[in-house]
């Protein structure tokens, strides 16, 4: 027997998943800036480069890891004030993203080594006069992406110095490189977009708007981009959007839901069964079960990978947004810096301050008298109990119910290697002023007290639980509008939902899908009125549907009578509120937000 002690298996599953995520390699698009304004001919000139991502961590682990890393990475962009400060690159793999003016500060070392460049063009004339020759002299270049920013072409169109068609502009840029034109591509940026919050909704929006030809910058308040929580349902209405964007289900280690069983908690006797295996056939997309870390990692890859449509989204960490100017399109960070954009998307959750700038005030949370326990268990750690065998299976979801609101939901994720447990229960201690947080801890005794009369095999599972989280279920009324001028709310910032429908994440993805379609076919330089009109189209697509699901999420699918009157005002004309699980599946799953958004955009453009 081995006497080696390994700590890794003892870590909570969500921590193990995050470590696994960090170990993955990712294509890097490195944005490099330089303090400029002093000409290289001046005695005061000194290069001072900065990168938006840290040097590879392998360089700092230990001597052996550093030696291996140095076979791939080499130091470039040395700063003259600090000779030992540099940026480590793999020139044949990493894409270096620069503003055109930074080309003046490249040394012969960088010019001789760089192979993949992305250049922001702020002024078409200046680029052609000053920087084109510099690029053409870089003999190692294999890939050049020219990012034409909004306003770069306008002065030259006025004097008929450029053709009006954007496709002709791309041809002119490529033609300037003559023999090298095959490695050159040009992207014309329609809008600058700021997204506040790097969670599921924020990253999904970044993917959609990147694909639509916009330049996206995400401000995330935390020091490292990650998703907390456990597992999540990606129902067909959201899976359809992700599939359209090229989401890789295998990389995200998702499990396809195949069957849902409702059983009596005390005896595990089945009460109802739903066949989920045909969702792809019936609704055009599968029902997926995912660990949030895995989902978040794949969304981040699609948002920032260099090989996707458009230019990669930029993620800025440690950046808390504390102020908004909706009319002018500015956000203010906690450090006092101000950033502007054509469109600002607030995707920073239920406690967003942006809602005050849209509606004047936030909606008041109302205690429902219920709370949720949540924990994960490794599949291999489940008790060896014959009575549990009928409840195992690839993609099997189980809902064990008791009198009142007590339910224990159990389903797999992460390629069936992790089991997710969600316990909804009455909690008279919760109140309107309690903080909504997934990071609040609970202990095993708390959970056992709520489910003491459940089957012994379920109690044996609960006893193995570690790192249990608890949060109160607080309800918020739908808000009448989600946007003002250049600012729009999405996801939990617009429509926070309770977990009964499993649609919280799906509705955020629907928001992202709608924005990605509605902000296409824009004029060359969209005005504030154009942005406002497009957001009005977005609200027509989204508010009533999301509000209906927000209200129906207050109860289980077998309790629709409790919210029928309240939800009916948000249903489409002539459509009744669903009253059974099958009707809820039809209402929630069949809807195609991409198609609906295209139809609304077409109607808008036909009237313009």
The catalytic residue positions are 374, 411
Triad 23, 27, 33: Cα angle to 5°: 110
Is 340 strand, coil or helix? strand
Residue 49: count of CB within 10 angstroms of its CB: 20
Residue 326: count of CB within 10 angstroms of its CB: 18
The pairs formed by 20-27 with CB atoms below 8 angstroms and a separation of 24 or more are: 21/226, 21/293, 21/294, 21/297, 24/297, 26/301, 26/304, 26/305, 27/93, 27/94, 27/95, 27/305, 27/306, 27/307
Task: Say if residues 486 and 343 touch (Cβ distance below 8 Å).
Answer: yes
Q: In this structure, what are the phi and psi dihedrals at residue 369, rounded to the nearest 5 degrees?
A: 80, 10
- State how far the Cα of 205 lies from the Cα of 511, in Å rounded to an integer: 8
Task: Say if residues 491 and 511 touch (Cβ distance below 8 Å).
Answer: yes
Burial, 359: exposed, middle or buried (Cβ in 10 Å; 0-12, 13-18, 19+)? Answer: middle
Task: Say if residues 19 and 83 touch (Cβ distance below 8 Å).
Answer: no
Task: Say if residues 408 and 268 touch (Cβ distance below 8 Å).
Answer: no
> Which of 337, 344, 338 minimizes the C-alpha distance to 192?
344
Q: Which two tokens stand for residue 414?
A: 């992460």
**At a CB cut-off of 8 Å and minimum separation 6, what does 131 contact?**
100, 103, 104, 119
Burial, 53: exposed, middle or buried (Cβ in 10 Å; 0-12, 13-18, 19+)? Answer: middle
Q: How is 361-401 classified by DSSP, letter by letter?
A: SPPPPEEEEEEEEEEEEEGGGS---GGGGGG--TTEEEEEE
């Amino acid at each position: 027997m081995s006497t080696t002690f390994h700590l890794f298996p003892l870590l909570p599953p969500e921590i193990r998943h995050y470590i696994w995520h960090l170990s993955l390699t990712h294509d890097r698009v490195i944005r490099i800036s330089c303090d400029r304004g002093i000409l290289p001919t001046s005695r005061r000139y000194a290069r001072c480069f900065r990168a938006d991502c840290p040097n590879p961590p392998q360089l700092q682990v230990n001597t052996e890891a550093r030696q291996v890393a140095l076979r791939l990475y080499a130091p470039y962009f040395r700063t003259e004030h600090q000779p030992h400060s540099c940026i480590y690159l793999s020139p044949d793999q990493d894409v270096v993203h620069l503003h055109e003016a930074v080309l003046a500060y490249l040394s012969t070392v960088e010019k001789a080594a760089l192979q993949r460049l992305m250049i922001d063009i702020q002024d078409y004339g200046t680029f052609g006069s000053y920087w084109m020759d510099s690029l053409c002299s870089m003999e190692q270049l294999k890939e050049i992406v020219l990012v034409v920013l909004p306003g770069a072409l306008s002065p030259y169109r006025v004097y008929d110095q450029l053709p009006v068609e954007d496709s002709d502009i791309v041809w002119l840029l490529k033609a300037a490189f003559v023999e090298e034109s095959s490695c050159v591509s040009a992207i014309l940026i329609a809008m600058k977009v700021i997204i506040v919050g790097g969670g599921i909704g924020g990253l999904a929006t970044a993917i959609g708007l990147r694909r639509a030809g916009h330049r996206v910058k995400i401000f995330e308040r935390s020091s490292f981009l990650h998703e907390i929580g456990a597992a999540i349902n990606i129902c067909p209405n959201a899976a359809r959007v992700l599939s359209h964007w090229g989401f890789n289900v295998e990389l995200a280690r998702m499990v396809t839901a195949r069957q849902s069983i409702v059983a009596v908690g005390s005896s595990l006797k089945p009460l109802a069964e739903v066949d989920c295996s045909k969702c792809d056939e019936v609704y055009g997309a599968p029902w997926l079960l995912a660990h949030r870390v895995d989902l978040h990692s794949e969304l981040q890859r699609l948002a920032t990978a260099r090989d996707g449509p458009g230019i990669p989204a930029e993620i800025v960490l440690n950046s808390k947004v504390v102020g908004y100017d909706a009319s002018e399109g500015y956000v203010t960070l906690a450090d006092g810096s101000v950033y502007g954009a054509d469109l600002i998307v607030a995707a920073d959750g239920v406690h967003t301050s942006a809602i005050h700038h849209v509606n004047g005030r936030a909606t008041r949370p109302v205690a429902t008298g219920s709370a949720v326990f949540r924990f994960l268990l490794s599949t291999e750690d489940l008790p060896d109990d014959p009575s549990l065998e009928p409840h195992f299976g690839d993609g099997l979801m189980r809902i064990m119910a008791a009198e009142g609101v007590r339910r224990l939901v159990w389903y797999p994720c992460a390629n069936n290697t992790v089991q997710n447990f969600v316990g909804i229960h009455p909690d008279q201690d919760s109140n309107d002023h309690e903080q909504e947080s997934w990071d609040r801890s609970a202990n095993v005794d708390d959970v056992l007290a709520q489910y003491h009369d459940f089957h012994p095999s379920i109690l044996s599972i609960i006893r193995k639980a570690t790192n249990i989280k608890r949060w109160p279920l607080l309800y918020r009324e739908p808000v009448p509008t989600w946007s003002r001028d250049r600012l729009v709310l999405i996801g939990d910032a617009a429509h926070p939902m309770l977990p009964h429908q499993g649609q919280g994440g799906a509705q955020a993805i629907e928001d992202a899908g709608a924005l990605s379609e509605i902000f296409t076919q824009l004029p060359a330089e969209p005005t504030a009125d154009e942005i406002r009109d497009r957001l009005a189209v977005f609200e027509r697509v989204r508010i009533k549907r999301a509000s209906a699901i927000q209200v129906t999420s207050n109860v289980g699918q077998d309790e629709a009578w409790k919210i029928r009157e309240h939800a009916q005002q948000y249903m489409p004309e002539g459509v009744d509120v669903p009253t059974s699980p099958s009707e809820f599946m039809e209402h929630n799953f069949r809807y195609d937000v991409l198609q609906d958004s295209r139809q609304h955009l077409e109607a808008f453009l036909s009237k313009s």
